[in-house]
Amino acid sequence: MSNYKIITDSGSDLPKSMADSLGLAVSPLYVTFRGVTNPDSVDDGIQEMYAGLRSGEAATTSAINPQQWSDVIESVLAEGLDALVLTFSSGLSTTYQSAVIAANELSEKYPQRKIRVVDTLAASLGQGLLVWYACRKQQEGLELDALADWVTENRFRLCHWFTVDDLMYLKRGGRVSAATALVGTMLNIKPVLHVDDEGHLISRSKVRGRKAAIEALASKMDQLALPGENDTVFICHGDCIQDAEQLAAIVKAKHGVKEVFIGYTGAVIGSHSGPGTLALFFLGEHR
């Protein structure tokens, strides 16, 4: 049995069933919808939230503060285990910085325990896929420091490619200008975006129409995927399961992918990217 536990946050968009099967501890971000604040989730109320967003309702989000991180990390340390904390991208949230603060304080309280915090520079099921790989490495017997170093090095090979169906959500978050959002909506323009090496959301190209956007995501595997290293890929969606299944069928047929895990874009990320978000995550030579 390993002498450390992997901890992540809900920015990874892993369903509870998967997190439990991997032996993870998960600290939630928070979303406020219809005046009620709840932990971020891909399990509870997610379809209701997307329905509300489609009808014009809004949601607000909050990151994990140091005390919330401290509560989760300390519960692991109190069991006599060390902790490897893999966080949501610092380019998109203050979650990583808060985890570092909590870890530093707890290191003084538990000097005999080891705590490593790694910024995954990843988001949604991109972070989830990296955490999934980390759990496999842990099960294979990799020690804490070696695994922290592996994640630090290999996070730059975790490719995130996605599109959104409605540019207005990115406009509200300051990701695109109001003029770009308006013109793009009128012309049925769909952006193709990714998360870069600094963990920031970057628009890389534009296509016209949803079908072209799905094909553009799949084409990224043609350009970047490492042969033989993508038996499993992850896809997430903002309540558009048919599009996710179409994308999964393409990558299976073209790249010999054996397993595609399809999950929801969680409440926190989905409230910023909107219904119709579609993303593909895989290992590549670089992001």
Give the CATH number of the domain where residue 31 resides: 3.40.50.10170
Residue 173: predicted pLDDT = 61
Domain span including residue 99? 4-155
Query: Rounded to whole angstroms, what are the CA distances from 103 to 96, 131, 152?
Result: 11, 19, 17
Is the predicted pLDDT of residue 191 greater than 90, yes or no? no
| 53-108 pLDDT tens trace | 999 999 999 999 999 999 999 999 999 999 999 999 999 999 999 999 999 999 99
Higher pLDDT, residue 40 or 180 = 40
pLDDT tier at 133 (50, 70, 90 boundaries)?
Answer: very high
Residue 180: predicted pLDDT = 63
On whether the pTM is more than 0.85, the answer is yes
Percent of the chain residues past pLDDT 90, beyond the cut: 85
Higher pLDDT, residue 272 or 180 = 272
pLDDT tier at 248 (50, 70, 90 boundaries)?
Answer: very high
Number of domains in the chain: 2
Contact 82, 144 (CB under 8 A): yes
For residue 59, the cross-strand partners are 33
- Tell whether 117 and 203 lie within a shared domain: no
Residue 68: predicted pLDDT = 98
- Tell whether 115 and 194 lie within a shared domain: no
Is the predicted pLDDT of residue 181 greater than 80, yes or no? no
- Tell whether 215 and 227 lie within a shared domain: yes
Residue 169: predicted pLDDT = 67
Residue 203: predicted pLDDT = 84
Residue 202: predicted pLDDT = 87
SS (H, E, C) the chain: CCCEEEEEEHHHCCCHHHHHHHCCEEECCEEEECCEEEECCCCCCHHHHHHHHHCCCCEEEECCCHHHHHHHHHHHHCCCCEEEEEECCCCCCCHHHHHHHHHHHHHHHCCCCCEEEEECCCCHHHHHHHHHHHHHHHHCCCCHHHHHHHHHHHHHHEEEEEECCCHHHHHHCCCCCHHHHHHHHHCCEEEEEEECCCCCEEEEEEEECHHHHHHHHHHHHHHHECCCCCCEEEEEECCCHHHHHHHHHHHHHHHCCCEEEEEECCHHHHHHHCCCCEEEEEEECCC
Give the domain CATH number at 191.
3.30.1180.10
- Tell whether 263 and 166 lie within a shared domain: yes
- Tell whether 85 and 127 lie within a shared domain: yes
- Tell whether 149 and 251 lie within a shared domain: no
- Tell whether 20 and 134 lie within a shared domain: yes
- Tell whether 149 and 164 lie within a shared domain: no
* End-of-domain residue from the set 155, 172, 203: 155
pLDDT tier at 170 (50, 70, 90 boundaries)?
Answer: low
- Tell whether 125 and 162 lie within a shared domain: no
pLDDT tier at 178 (50, 70, 90 boundaries)?
Answer: low
- Tell whether 129 and 210 lie within a shared domain: no
Is the predicted pLDDT of residue 140 greater than 90, yes or no? yes
- Tell whether 179 and 78 lie within a shared domain: no
- Tell whether 181 and 276 lie within a shared domain: yes
State the average pLDDT over residues 148-176: 85
Is the predicted pLDDT of residue 186 greater than 70, yes or no? no
pLDDT tier at 230 (50, 70, 90 boundaries)?
Answer: very high
* End-of-domain residue from the set 106, 121, 155: 155
Contact 229, 283 (CB under 8 A): yes
pLDDT tier at 168 (50, 70, 90 boundaries)?
Answer: confident
* End-of-domain residue from the set 114, 134, 155: 155
